[in-house]
Amino acid sequence: MTLQTLQQTTSFLQEKGFLNPEIGIVLGTGLGQLVNHILIEQEINYSDIPNFPFSTVEFHSGKLIFGTLEGKKVIVMQGRFHLYEGYSLQEVTFPIRILKALGIQKLFISNAAGAINLNFKKGELMLIEDHINLQGSSPLAFATVSDFGERFTDMSEPYNLNLRNQAISIAEKNNIILHKGVYTAVVGPQLETKAEYRMLKIIGTDAVGMSTVPEVIVANHLQLPVLAISVLTDECNPNDLKPVNIAEIIALAGQAEPKMIALFKELIKE
């Protein structure tokens, strides 16, 4: 990644009409329905965007969408990139840098995650308050990172406190269960073993997934306020572990998604 590739992609999207967005939104696994609420002005496949990776995951559609939601200009990533697809962390987070270069002032991230905290049930939401990075590297670990921002990025409050407080207040008003907790990012794509679930619990994990953390690190690198919500799609009890059914996880994400959409829409309106 160079400043030149960043500029080339940004200019391309501006020429396509991706102008003056206020909010960027990343939609996670099984979480594509938010786009039905957007007055869409432009949409483009990732494969048509210069320097963009393209999603290799069958349930990630791979589109960048620009339009109006609750009176605000938004850019939505319908489908994201993962380390497990063979991309580098710089490639995984390149779109976040593009969203910031296009002008977004806030970033909302969603993901599907497994509940390690067994007080949390599948179909519920978790507001991410903090995270643990078990992906083995950092999206900031490259030679020319200082060209893009401060190399030693502060992570004392990676998830914006004001946005979190707003989300908690909206959830209370709308009777939405919104747990608060720590998200741990692993590489994947294999699911965890019983022993790994036990380890995750010991180190303080409330929910586990394979995304989000690289994007949040880069948002902090860019001094971009970020909020992230996990839709809990399975309960990871090592003492009663059943084989995972990915189709069921996608279906559960879809069922829980309206609550996340309601939260995001109210936040955008406020």
| pLDDT at residue 60, as a whole number | 54
Weakly modelled stretches of the chain, pLDDT under 50:
none
C-alpha gyration radius of the chain: 17
Sign of CA dihedral 88, 203, 181, 30: positive
User: Residue 30's pLDDT is what?
Assistant: 74
- Report the pLDDT value the prediction gives residue 229, as an integer from 0 to 100: 96
pLDDT for the residue 257: 86
Domains and CATH numbers, the chain: 3-269 (3.40.50.1580)
